[in-house]
Chains A and B, each alone.
Chain A
Amino acid sequence: MATPEIVFANATTSYAEYGGYTALERARAMTPAEATEELMASELRGRGGAFFPTGRKWSFVPSKEQLPKPHYLVVNADESEPGSFKDNEILSRVPHRFIEGCLITAHAVDCAHVFVYIRGEYSGPYEILVNALEEVPKDVLGGVTIVVHRGAGAYICGEETALLESLEGKRGQPRSKPPFPAVSGLYAAPTVVNNVETIATVPPIIAMGGAEYAKLGVPNTRGTRVVSISGNVVNGGNYEIEAGMSMHDIIYGLGGGIPDGRELKAVVPGGSSTVILTKDEVDVGYDFDSLGALHTAMGSAGIVVLDDRCCIVQLGIRFSEFYEHESCGKCTPCREGTRWLTAILRKLEDGRATQADLDLLLDVCDRINGKCLCPLGDSDAIIVASYVAKFRDEFQAHIDEGSCPFGGASSLDHVLAPVAMHTHAPAVPA
């Protein structure tokens, strides 16, 4: 792919324009095992962030002979990761491709019930999806019911087990694993939980064949990826890239570089919960292995570009406030630790901190990391620790100068919304 094309430029497709769900026909001609086999051959890995091989996840679902319970497919459309907005656009622009993916997956995992758990604030995509569903002829649905359920505004409900709890009508808090959802998920029945982008990638895989799809990309990261570019770039937005493309090209090519003649300072490569990269580290392939070598990840592919006005301590506060605000309150280290981290970071930013506070900050990160029930608290600890590791001088300057070297002025104007500005979408009128 020489010039990556901008996808989703078209307006919303209708069912007729979309062209009849041919991949679905093809999949239904296969046995569920064969369909799963195609996914295995495609080497597709989950696009939600955890990067688990999709075909393998499907294959974990016990057969109905082994476990006589209904199977469920739950699609995670609770996209809430700061920096990520790809699922929004997928649902808005190609709802039928998404629905076709749901139906193929339902066939592959032998299920008749699909639940789409959509972020509550996504009222636009919700309406588009519901309208699109109404267009789908009954015979195409083939007895599969697709229920779209709106979340109530909780980041944690993007964690698969918390999502399932919420879908069951309970408080959205993660479950302890095992058992994994593939065996005991929604209503304690075998459940496949996949991200929107993963599901939307299924039809082309079936259409072109798994082996063909696997020719795209690089080892361990096959195919394409929709990246959301935001922050201090000229052309923010969603782009579909072939995996392995250089981050430098993504930022300067697709993103058009840094505006107003500013310098690049750092990049958050895959949504708020991934380890930050300095400007010297961005010449790296956008794929699992290359980013893994830098101890970071593609995550949910939300690339946040930060220019030289950014105060890293302020960035830490902004993210840490987010995790504090979104912690579900179930496990101790996350509930108490994220709040404490924010407090220490604020003290640093205000110039009231001592050297001991910086050590305390790192120690608290260490005490959260690896001890939580789910990755939410860990994420906060990992990223804050990475900010200190990569921008220690800046933290030190806050202590030495007794104030923020940036004068405390917000340099994060186009970089995510602070927690206080988070609003909830109004309910869709009946």
Chain B
Amino acid sequence: MTDLVKVTIDERTVEVPKGTGVVETAAAAGIEIPVFCYEPRLGAPVGACRMCLVEVEGMPKLQAGCTLTATDGMVVHTARTSKLSAEGQNATLEFILVNHPLDCPVCDKGGECPLQDLTFRYGPGNTRMTFPKRTFEKPIPISPLIALDRERCILCYRCTRFSEEVAEDGQLVAVNRGSQSVIATFEDEPYRGAFSGNVTELCPVGALTSTQYRFEARPWEIQNVPTVCGLCPVGCNISATTREGKVKRILSRNHPEVDEGWLCDKGRFAYAHLGARDRITAPLVKAGPRRFEQISWDDALDAAESTLRAGGSSTVTALSGGESVEEAYALARLMREGLGANTAVLPEEVPDRFDAYRAPLSALRDAKTIAVVCDEPVVERAPVVDLWLRSARRKGAAITYGVPEGDVDALVTDQAGPRYGATNVYHLPRTPNGRGVADAWSAAGDGEPVDEKPRVLVISGDEAATDPAVRAIAAEAEFVLGIGMFEDSFRGIADLVLPGVSYLERDGTTVNLEDRLQRQRRAVVAPVPDVTMWISKLAERFDVEVSPHVSVLFDELAAKCFGGIAFSDVGERADLPPRAEEVSDTNPVSDARTTGAGLRLVAYRPLFSGAAVERTPELEFQKPEAEIQLSRDDAKARGIKNGQTVTVSSNGTSVELRARVAKDIHSGVVRIAREHAADLHANVEVKP
């Protein structure tokens, strides 16, 4: 039981836990204290904007409510009951507006702008400022993604605090002084970082706007659809803003256990892939080595049926891990029940031994000791997990990269290795819904794969279609049936392609890295039918009854996998299921995989890669640089300095890359983004 303190705010008495801020205390009493700069997620309050001025009995001056902590017996008067406070807030707004351009009619924020709202509620109705306003050059692109309007900026420092205290990239800073203070990027370089887009959402005015959303919509003609991002295994909760049937932007939808309201730039900006130039809008059939032709749905289903019949039980299904649980389940039933084709290339191995140690991501922040045993950088695989780790470190957690020496509170790993005595384990899958897809496949049947050379390969999703391992199987197969969104992914390998849909265009569920089952909602209608719709039709021809409706598919599956939860009960903010019972450890392999004298190369898949990113030109600048990450020890042993150009070689091939000495990597391992790893083998040597 925490200690409570009794506080009186505007004659209302509330009891709140000791240590609660006055803004929250007022909220508990149902009273709003208006704020601009205050944002608890950005660390300690700064008291800069002075919007939250309140009168506290016993204190001679007005106080900034955001920096005050409630104490027992405190008596607070807000603008509702204190003339002084009302005047203070009115004064703050007058000062803010003195140099604000008031260009609301052409401002993207207009209509959903805290400055507008608070001015209407607390501010002056007219201006007494008769001097020329301060002007700046505008808008300034601080990156291809973000435009900065310095005249609109009210200098609340939310963006710079985010950059400094949350993303810890330190790229966004305030320069100059006093009324000439402006927000800028360090040395006017583009703001390049996995989380830069969050500042557009933090900005309480229209100073930082998304270049993609600029002049695209007004708040009164949009709908926000609550859904879940489908681009990485974190599964951040998002709102998709739509206007006239098109996605116009992605906003975060704070799930305090999953994302705390932060999104990575991939999740926020890559929605542009929905309208890509090579989007598949009708079934395609191969009409030449690099050319497709559109065919009718009837012809496509006929062709698919005959192909699958020819392939029979030897048909192999390659899954992407980007499918919804229901899409994967429908496809699995068609293949397993209809064809007896039980062979699947699943996107990855997802160890269920860790299910007994599952915990919400937010629990990472409370861990005292954390081991990160990852080959790939955490930020590239599951970006928001990187923010949780940073937040834990700021809180004092000891984070070790590589095998820990003793037991740890939390383990973050991308491997199916040992648990290292961790209380909480976070396994980072490679794909957004790898767990759900694997569950769906196994729930759809229990037949054994046949030992026969496959004649037909079914590739589900663009990620599978571009995977080198899947492409190797495709080269051997007589016939390849693809399901996907983009022509370029299937060009040259598929004989028949049926259109797929994006996570923003479908209803369904997905399972994130924590094992949290989350609901995706259709934000916009796809230019093609749902995947489950035509699978249902195709399954009919094989006498398998597969419902086209996701709710029915889910209910079938939920009975087997998700404890019988109803589709309608997978809420807007999903809970984490209770921990599973412990599975006896089956001799997990240890991490010692370094072989020979050289360094083990991890050619990682960068965050800014993949089908959706390739089709979002604004994200081009975020692609990884040609660099090799290596540990401090390895760098020292080879006399390599940070930033130096080095030669990376293996078996006769070599590449020149810039060296980056990274803290989050253990010795014996080096990392290169896949697109820069060229033909390097798994064992490399690095020389200055």
Contacts and interface: CB of A to CB of B under 8 A. Distances in A.
A367 interface: yes
B181 A340 contact: no
A334 B91 CA distance: 11
5 tightest Cβ-Cβ pairs between the two chains A and B: A329-B181, A327-B178, A367-B91, A176-B47, A336-B95
Interface string A371-394: 111000000000000000000000
B92 A325 contact: no
B47 A331 contact: yes
Contacts of A176: 45-47, 64, 67
B592 to A, nearest CB: 39
A360 B47 CA distance: 26
Contacts of B64: 176, 373
Interface in B381-412: none
A111 B488 CA distance: 68
B128 interface: yes
Contacts of A324: 178-179
Contacts of A360: 128
A339 B174 CA distance: 19
Contacts of B173: 171
Given A340-B129, A370-B62, A327 B179 contact: yes
B92 A328 contact: no
A101 interface: no
Contacts of B91: 333, 367-368, 371
B98 A340 contact: yes
B687 interface: no
Interface in A134-180: 154, 156, 171, 175-176
B61 interface: yes
Contact of A371 (B45, B53, B67, B179): B53
A333 B50 contact: yes
Contact of B50 (A329, A340, A371): A371
B154 interface: yes
A326 interface: yes
A332 B67 contact: no
Interface string A320-360: 00001111111111111111100100010000000000001
A370 B64 CA distance: 11
A331 B48 contact: yes
A330 B46 contact: yes
Given A339-B179, A340-B129, A370-B61, 8 more contacts: A176-B46, A328-B177, A332-B51, A336-B96, A343-B131, A367-B94, A368-B91, A371-B62
5 contacts: A327-B178, A329-B174, A329-B181, A332-B51, A371-B50
B2 interface: no
Contacts of A154: 177
B53 A339 contact: no
A367 B53 CA distance: 12
Nearest to B46: A176
Interface of B: 45-51, 53, 61-62, 64, 67, 87-88, 91-92, 94-96, 98-99, 128-129, 131, 134, 154-155, 157, 173-174, 176-181
Contacts of A370: 61-62
A324 B98 CA distance: 15
Nearest to A156: B177
Contact of A335 (B46, B128, B181): B181
Interface of A: 154, 156, 171, 175-176, 324-340, 343, 347, 360, 367-368, 370-373
Contacts of A331: 47-50
B178 A328 contact: yes
B83 to A, nearest CB: 13
Contacts of A330: 46, 48, 155, 157
A85 B262 CA distance: 50
A25 B19 CA distance: 45
Contacts of B87: 367
B53 A329 contact: no
Contacts of A339: 98-99, 134, 178-179
Contacts of B128: 360
Contacts, number: 96
B47 A335 contact: no
Chief secondary structure at chain B's binding surface: loop
A371 B178 contact: no
A168 to B, nearest CB: 12
A329 B96 contact: no
Interface centre among B53, B61, B94, B157 (most CB of A within 10 A): B94
Given A324-B178, A324-B179, A329 B94 contact: no
Given A327-B179, A329-B176, A338-B178, A371 B88 contact: yes
Contact of A333 (B95, B129, B177): B95
Contacts of B174: 171, 329
A332 B178 contact: no
Contact of B98 (A156, A171, A336): A336
Nearest to A373: B47
Contact of A332 (B96, B129, B131): B96
A154 B178 CA distance: 11
Contacts of A337: 95
Nearest to B132: A343
Contacts of B157: 330
B154 A332 contact: yes
Interface centre among A171, A332, A372 (most CB of B within 10 A): A332
Contacts of B155: 329-330, 332, 335
A248 B494 CA distance: 99
A331 B179 CA distance: 10
A332 B179 contact: no
A175 B87 CA distance: 24
A174 B89 CA distance: 21
Nearest to B47: A176
Contacts of A333: 50, 91-92, 95
Contact of B49 (A327, A332, A347): A332
Interface centre among A325, A331, A343, A347 (most CB of B within 10 A): A331
A44 to B, nearest CB: 25
A203 B623 CA distance: 62
A324 B178 CA distance: 7
B177 A326 contact: yes
Nearest to B164: A170
A324 B134 CA distance: 13
B50 A372 contact: yes
Nearest to A155: B177
A343 B179 CA distance: 13
Nearest to B154: A332
A390 to B, nearest CB: 24
Contacts of B179: 324, 327, 329, 335-336, 338-339
B20 to A, nearest CB: 16
B680 to A, nearest CB: 40
Contacts of B50: 331-333, 371-373
A327 B157 CA distance: 16
B399 to A, nearest CB: 20
B178 A335 contact: yes
A176 to B, nearest CB: 4
B108 to A, nearest CB: 23
Contacts of B61: 370-371
Contacts of B177: 154, 156, 325-329
Contact of A340 (B47, B53, B92, B131): B131
Nearest to A369: B61
Interface centre among A329, A360, A370 (most CB of B within 10 A): A329
B170 to A, nearest CB: 11
Contact of A329 (B62, B67, B131, B178): B178
A404 to B, nearest CB: 19
Interface centre among A325, A334, A335 (most CB of B within 10 A): A335
Contacts of A367: 87, 91, 94-95
B103 to A, nearest CB: 18
Nearest to A340: B98
A38 B157 CA distance: 44
Interface centre among A171, A334, A337 (most CB of B within 10 A): A171
A247 B179 CA distance: 37
